[in-house]
Structure 1
Amino acid sequence: MSADEVLDIVDEHDRVVGQATRGEAMANRLRHRCVFVAARDPAGRLFVHRRTAHKLVFPSLYDMFVGGVVGAGESYDEAALREAEEELGVSGLPAPVPVLKFLYETPEHRWWSSVYEVRCDLPVNPQVEEVAWHAFLTDEELDRRLTEWEWVPDGLAAFHRLRARRTAPGEPRPHRTTP
């Protein structure tokens, strides 16, 4: 989505209170909606990528999610599928499954973040406008990279929340795959 794309602006309870362009929302720290999709291949490895240098937010940083902003009038579910297919460069992806939602707020940014998971059995062909580098990493490989690479802060916050949820008592354990 470009800086001119229109987004729903939401309140602290995620209710729509207006609309603004993406550029206005970012410049004025207006609360809007975003989706994060953790995409795993058939071996259970997670799609990880480095964002291109011209991205409006967090350029050239690494991310363990595909996703982006939710357009005006678009549902989280619709945005999750659209963003996952666009960034992975696939079509026919199964509907991503929602797993958690949280409000991401910093002095510079604030948005409602809906986190999804999807299995991608298709060969990926990531958008060159969005993705500068990519690989599917095992959880162990990702753990090693967490301290070595500079990650998008909102994705890192989502990742830690997802991991905490997965390791909480009574929750399913994360899927681990060794090379």
Structure 2
Amino acid sequence: MSDQQPLAADEVLDVVDEHDRVTGQAPRGEVYAAGLRHRCVFVQARDARGRIFVHRRTARKLVFPSLYDMFVGGVVGAGETYDEAALREAEEELGVSGLPAPTPLFRFLYEGPGGSWWSAVYEVRCELPVVPQEEEVAWWDFLPEDEVEARLADWQWVPDGLAAYLRLRERRHEGR
């Protein structure tokens, strides 16, 4: 599989400014290569017992291959809303259909390893049996939050997902 092209390089994305206003469109491969700001969604999926879906990305991913993530999600396509992308990406990555609409929590501008993108964070309860996409997910499990916390220092996490998780954790602690 290593001789195949990366996935979805031709998908067209909206390019946005620092205020999340659309300034143009470009294919995903060009957006990544040129470091153009775009939009992404992060969906924290929990099972009926409240455990978090955690996975390791495949080696073929365009961004952060083979790293762990505590969110499902991805880029927002050109003309697509954050809400539409959140549901689409969650259903695709979890391999389910009929998922309830993910609940929007907050947005932030990620600036770090890999580039800069507007990030919308969601949560969803997934009580359906999951069959994650083999092209996207190399390993997965539902883990209790305390185990996710224990693995933060041990596993190599995608930096944008880790940034989203830490912001989400901070918001939840402030809400107590």
For 1:91-143, what per-residue CA distance to the aligned partner results, in whole angstroms no more than 9, with x for missing partners? Answer: 00000000010001126401000000000010000000000000000011111
Q: Report the 3-state secondary structure (helix = DSSP H, G, I; strand = E; otherwise coil) of the residue aligned with 1:105.
A: strand
Q: Report the 3-state secondary structure (helix = DSSP H, G, I; strand = E; otherwise coil) of the residue aligned with 2:124.
A: strand
Q: Which runs of 5+ in 2 are unaligned?
A: 1-6
Partner Cα distance (1:107, 1:69) in 2: 16
Q: Report the 3-state secondary structure (helix = DSSP H, G, I; strand = E; otherwise coil) of the residue aligned with 2:98.
A: coil
For 1:42-84, what per-residue CA distance to the aligned partner results, in whole angstroms no more than 9, with x for missing partners? Answer: 0000000000011000000000000000000000000000000
The answer to whether residue 146 in structure 2 is matched with residue 140 in structure 1 is: yes
Candidates 38, 41, 46, aligned match of 2:44: 38
Candidates 105, 126, 132, aligned match of 1:126: 132
Look up the match of 1:81. Answer: 87
The answer to whether residue 2 in structure 2 is matched with residue 20 in structure 1 is: no
The answer to whether residue 117 in structure 2 is matched with residue 111 in structure 1 is: yes
Change (3 A) 1:28 1:147: same
**Aligned-residue identity in percent:** 74
Q: Which runs of 5+ in 1 are unaligned?
A: 173-179
* Structure 2 counterpart of 1:66, one-letter code: V
> RMSD across aligned C-alpha pairs, in angstroms?
0.9
Partner Cα distance (2:149, 2:42) in 1: 19
Q: Report the 3-state secondary structure (helix = DSSP H, G, I; strand = E; otherwise coil) of the residue aligned with 2:108.
A: strand
**Larger mean Cα displacement after TM superposition, 99-108 or 81-90:** 99-108
TM-score (norm 2): 0.95
Q: Report the 3-state secondary structure (helix = DSSP H, G, I; strand = E; otherwise coil) of the residue aligned with 1:27.
A: helix
Partner Cα distance (2:9, 2:70) in 1: 23
* Structure 1 counterpart of 2:41, one-letter code: V
* Structure 1 counterpart of 2:58, one-letter code: T
Look up the match of 2:100. Answer: 94
Partner Cα distance (1:50, 1:108) in 2: 17
Look up the match of 2:35. Answer: 29
Q: Which runs of 4+ in 1 moved over 3 A?
A: none
The answer to whether residue 123 in structure 2 is matched with residue 156 in structure 1 is: no
